[in-house]
Amino acid sequence: MATISEMYDVGWEEMRDKLRKWREDNCRNSEQIVDVGEELISEHASKLGDDVWIIYEQVMIAALDCSRDDLALTCLQELRKQFPDSHRVKRLSGMRLETNTQEKRKISILKAQGKNAEAIRELNEYLEQFVGDQEAWHELSELYINEHDYGKAAFCLEELMMTNPHNHLYCEQYAEVKYTQGGLENLELSRKYFAQALRLNNRNMRALFGLYMSASHIAASPKVSAKVKKDNMKYASWAATQINRAYKLAGRGTKESKCSMKAVEEMLESMQITMS
Amino acid sequence: MPIQLTSQAYCKMVLHAAKYPHSAVNGLLVAEKMKEKKKESHWEPVLCVDCVPLFHGTLALAPMLEVALTLIDTWCKENNYVIVGYYQANEHTKDSRPNQVAEKVAARISENFSEAAIVMVDNSRLRMSCFEPIVHIYDHHENKWKSREVTFDCFEDWSEAQKITSALLEGRSYESLIDFDNHLDDLRNDWTNPVINKSVLDLC
């Protein structure tokens, strides 16, 4: 996996300055602080001089936000070593202890009891405090989906996509939610996000099938212009080719999956007919 | 025309629920396409010879369900099967009534097969021994889904079904059960589950 400095072509000074800017502006972008700060600390701690301590504090708080207890502990230990009697460090210690585990346990219990509405409420409250906790956002999106509240599920996934723009799974799930919501506008959005998921990972079969389905439905809609229809038939056709190819590749050598492949070919052909 | 379950159909449903004990799971039930003559005998039960496990986790999203339904429908046509029912196990074991998703899929199935049934698997009674059937069967009457009393008549051969399901649960065959979700993760995973089908046949 690429480092921050490799991905964005920045040196350690820029990373340090970025962290300072975020401190000064009181930014709550915990994910980014964790990414940049963790790398800075592990690779360049010796170069940071006295700045390193305030960076440890900044990263620790951000790490707690993102449920990165391992990182939070590392930072805390360094600070304790350097400032053994500090009130400030004691307060940080306290922050770590009173953290999210109790609330998370409560939410799990509510879910196990089937009390979805309450679990949703608790999760929302939790996320106001720990806004960077990915797992919690994802759990909330799933709860909303199970309650058929697709609008709110989409919102959660939007948060996840914003903080994880390279994650093809969130993109693909967002597309699925939009598709389920229905309507031409949502279908077009879902097609775009299925396509985006494919750009991020061209082997995501759900995204490929999703692209095929959404484009096919758009093309079959009486409400679209001839151009939109033609474009979507092109997308669907491309997706169908890719799907067939993926099945051929998977089916090489096994007799059983040939029936799967044949079923897919036929399905795609029959849908082409309904589209045109 | 009430549905009846073969050992293979019952067993694979239970294995699916056992593989994902903390999630909701669902799937389709298939029967052999009846010849024209037989259709007239209304009292003849519809024998579900097999089931196709579909998803686990979130069941309420449309696109992959549509893909699965279309694909499996095509497969059915090639094998002279017809989709006659839908099964689901809910995430929360206290709740075994069909929900919105179940009703929607069943309605879709009913377009092709008027006597479609919903089978709800009761997770809370899942045990290795399988002494009693852990399913609730619902039929559509007067626009409502009504639960039918589950007797041994709901099975082609209950003692065989019980024996086979119990054996496969103990042998942890559920670990190798493939559902449509697994297939989408890796196309080489075969949702017809030939290996498990063979195990069932060997135990018959």
Q: What's the complex ipTM?
A: 0.90
Query: Which residues lie across from B138 on neighbouring strands?
Result: B118, B147
Residues in A whose CB is inside 8 Å of some CB of B read 112-114, 142, 145-146, 148, 175-177, 179-180, 182, 190, 205-206, 209-210, 213-214, 246-247, 249-251, 254, 256-257, 259-260, 262-264, 266-267, 270-271
CB spacing of A148 vs B60 below 8 angstroms:
yes
CB spacing of A260 vs B58 below 8 angstroms:
no
Search chain B and give the residue with CA nearest A205. Answer: B184
As a whole number of Å, the end-to-end CA separation of chain B is 26
pLDDT score of B38 more than 70: no
Rounded Cα gap, residues B78 and B72, in angstroms = 10
Rounded Cα gap, residues A35 and A43, in angstroms = 12
User: Which amino acid is residue B176, in one-letter code?
Assistant: S
pTM: 0.76
pLDDT tens digit sequence for B138-158: 998 888 888 888 888 899 899
How confident is the prediction along chain A (276 residues), in pLDDT tens digits per residue? 677 777 777 888 999 999 999 988 887 788 889 989 999 998 888 888 888 999 999 999 998 888 788 888 899 999 999 998 888 888 888 877 766 666 777 888 888 777 888 889 989 988 888 888 888 899 999 999 999 999 999 999 999 999 999 999 999 999 999 999 999 999 999 999 999 999 999 999 999 999 999 999 999 999 999 999 999 999 999 999 999 889 888 876 555 555 566 667 777 776 666 555
- For residue B91, the 8-state DSSP code is S
Rounded Cα gap, residues A170 and A176, in angstroms = 10
CB spacing of A210 vs B64 below 8 angstroms:
yes
**A82's tokens:** 């350097």
**B101 contact partners, CB below 8 Å, separation of at least 6:** B26, B59, B60, B88
- Determine what percent of chain A falls in helix, strand and coil, rounding each to the nearest 5: 80, 0, 20
Residues in B 73-102 with any Cβ partner in A closer than 8 A: 73-75, 78, 91-92, 94-95, 100
